[in-house]
Structure 1
């Protein structure tokens, strides 16, 4: 963290084709709209310069080219979770919505907040994330084809050509998924051999899950403590109570990280048997009357805590060291 910024703050509302820009000039707000491409980026920098803070939301993939360009030009970039901007607007009772107004709110947030400079991730992480995303899309297509085949079989008359076509598509998808997943794991093993070996030393975590954790966390580089990792995965408990009358169930936040959550949940079944700390935690919670699903979610959290500690310390898992200390940031 750095102290509140003193330099000029540029708020940018990013959309697919355009950028709505807001900045202060001689204490008056100015607005600018440019295209979301290199020509627009050049116009933006020419107008505002690089000796300032550019603030934008992490809007899908549409902000990435702009963030990379500004970073390469030497400007300071601050990328904010859209939920944070939404809450900021609500807190200030903001009304109405337009690209121009959103840019103004983003600029205001940048002026009032402590900014952590954005930096691009390692190219190998970006490339592997793309492979992971394509594999997931192909798996979804594969599920659709399997469902189509099942539906076809239930009909009184079945076209042999339709069946053959779906089977060929299924075979092709299986081949592509296998190739991409093998390439993904191979790339990760070359780039992060040490980290993968550390993570797979944890009982319950296999190489695929270890690879997903490395991609999800960006090689754990931007995390200061395990609580940030648990929150990022959407596994933080969220309590809903008020006074003596409202006693809602404690649930997890489920904000982000759906893929890693589902993978960890599967891993928790093995971890509660083979991982000493996870086994003790699971049995203690069940003995207290907690349901099995809640206990397994706690095991997921324990796995993340272990993963963070082991990668940061460089010490492989050992059953006799249930509390691994991590260096203070």
Structure 2
């Protein structure tokens, strides 16, 4: 039996957020209000809820993942001790069925109804620590700088095929920019190292994960961020599914017989990182190298075997974290 009597749905945007509360589970009489998306607005929300008899003890708050737009709401509602459920927007949409029309008020009402209907499956939101947010922001900035540098170098290289003089002029102009990007990347790496060194738990996790052959520093940081320090997934298979390294059957009756494939909602960034890790592991880990060669000789597709290696790496990382042990390299006979 759920302890919640009231269900609050919030639809957040940049400037405002709409709030709809279903009182005593009576969905026919939802109460709606709109607030400014800042500290004063959230304070007004708290007072408004109090007037409705909705408190942190009897109310489940549900909102969608909206990136930075929902950060302030989550932060202050947690200060007020509310139970928060931060859910995927696609999951909410698909659970409701066919709907006609939409606006912010209607969306907030649908979120509140979703929370009431699925209260037994609700997952209390566990916010990442400040250190994890810092790592996320630094990784995001690093990725943008790397992409910018690659774009500049690629442009100069392509120009050489058509106009050598213009290419040299372009390289000369870009030289200082690329130097500046390289300097910024070094500073980011330094800051990431400092965050890891100064935090005991992050330092422990970092040492364990990087001990797995093939897993590098950037992939380790991505894993730490996306799993909230390995607290979001209870089994290695769940994490492997999220990372897009578990293929699922796709058949129906006699006519549909597609090859097993990974889900399109998988985390593409993590999947890409794990792909590079798998290639490195096949090269440097004797056990995985032997496994790869054996399966390829048996006629298996190379991409299928590489995906299996990615899956193995995820399971190795999770096993090491679970046992709190450094990975031990196995001897191959």
How far the C-alpha of 1:132 sits from its partner, in A, is 0.6
Distance 2:320 2:275 in 1: 20
The correspondence of residues 130-279 of structure 1 with structure 2, limited to 5 A, is: 130-153=137-160, 154-155=162-163, 158=166, 162-191=170-199, 192-275=202-285, 278-279=288-289
Instruction: Tell me, yes or no, if structure 1 residue 44 matches structure 2 residue 45.
Output: yes
How far the C-alpha of 1:200 sits from its partner, in A, is 2.1
- Can you give the 5+ residue segments of structure 2 that lack an aligned partner in the other structure? none
Q: Is the 8 A contact 1:5 1:115 kept in 2?
A: no
How far the C-alpha of 1:162 sits from its partner, in A, is 4.4
Distance 1:110 1:70 in 2: 16
When residues 305 and 276 of structure 1 are mapped into structure 2, their CA distance, relative to the original with a 3 A threshold, is farther
Normalised TM-score (structure 2): 0.87
How far the C-alpha of 1:127 sits from its partner, in A, is 0.8
Q: Deviations over 1:258-284 (max 9, x none)?
A: 222111111111222444664465345
How far the C-alpha of 1:185 sits from its partner, in A, is 2.9
Q: Is the 8 A contact 1:188 1:211 kept in 2?
A: no
Distance 1:144 1:29 in 2: 51
Counterpart in the other structure of 1:325? none
Q: Say which is worse superposed, 5-14 or 296-305, in terms of deviation.
A: 5-14
Counterpart in the other structure of 2:317? 307
Distance 1:281 1:175 in 2: 41
Number of residues of Structure 1 aligned to a counterpart in Structure 2:
318
When residues 179 and 145 of structure 1 are mapped into structure 2, their CA distance, relative to the original with a 3 A threshold, is same
When residues 102 and 288 of structure 1 are mapped into structure 2, their CA distance, relative to the original with a 3 A threshold, is farther
When residues 36 and 285 of structure 1 are mapped into structure 2, their CA distance, relative to the original with a 3 A threshold, is farther
Q: Is the 8 A contact 2:10 2:17 kept in 1?
A: yes
CA-atom RMSD in angstroms? 2.4
Normalised TM-score (structure 1): 0.88
Q: Deviations over 1:133-185 (max 9, x none)?
A: 11011111112212332344333652866442212111111111122123213
Q: Is the 8 A contact 1:185 1:211 kept in 2?
A: no
Distance 1:159 1:275 in 2: 42
Q: Is the 8 A contact 1:8 1:53 kept in 2?
A: yes
